[in-house]
Amino acid sequence: MVSKPAPDFTLTDSTGAQVKLSEQKGKVVLLNFWATWCGPCKVEIPWFMSFQQQYKDQNFEVVGVAFDDDGWQMVKPYIAEHKINYRVVLGNDDLDKAYGGIESLPTTFVIGRDGRIASQHKGLVSKATYQEEITRLLKDPAPVERSKIALFREPAR
52-76 average pLDDT score: 97
2-8 average pLDDT score: 94
Give the pLDDT score at 152.
47
pLDDT for 96 beyond 70: yes
Q: What is the pTM of this model?
A: 0.89
Residue 2: pLDDT band by 50, 70, 90 thresholds?
A: confident
65-72 average pLDDT score: 97
On average, the pLDDT of the chain sits at 92
| SS3 annotation, 92-153 | CHHHHHHCCCCCCCCEEEEECCCCEEEEEEECCCCHHHHHHHHHHHHHCCCCCCHHHCCCCC
Instruction: Specify the CATH number of the domain 10-148.
Output: 3.40.30.10
Residue 156: pLDDT band by 50, 70, 90 thresholds?
A: low
Terminal alpha carbon distance of the chain: 48
pLDDT tens digits, one per residue of 13-31: 999 999 999 999 999 999 9
Query: Structural domain boundaries of the chain?
Result: 10-148
The percent of residues in the chain predicted with pLDDT above 70, rounded, is: 90
How far, CA to CA in Å, does 145 sit from each of 24, 69, 150? 14, 39, 10
Residue 140: pLDDT band by 50, 70, 90 thresholds?
A: confident
In sequence order, which residues have a C-beta less than 8 Å from that of residue 154 and are 6 or more positions away? none
Lowest mean pLDDT among 44-53, 56-65, 143-152: 143-152
Q: How many of the other CB atoms lie within 10 Å of CB of 88?
A: 23
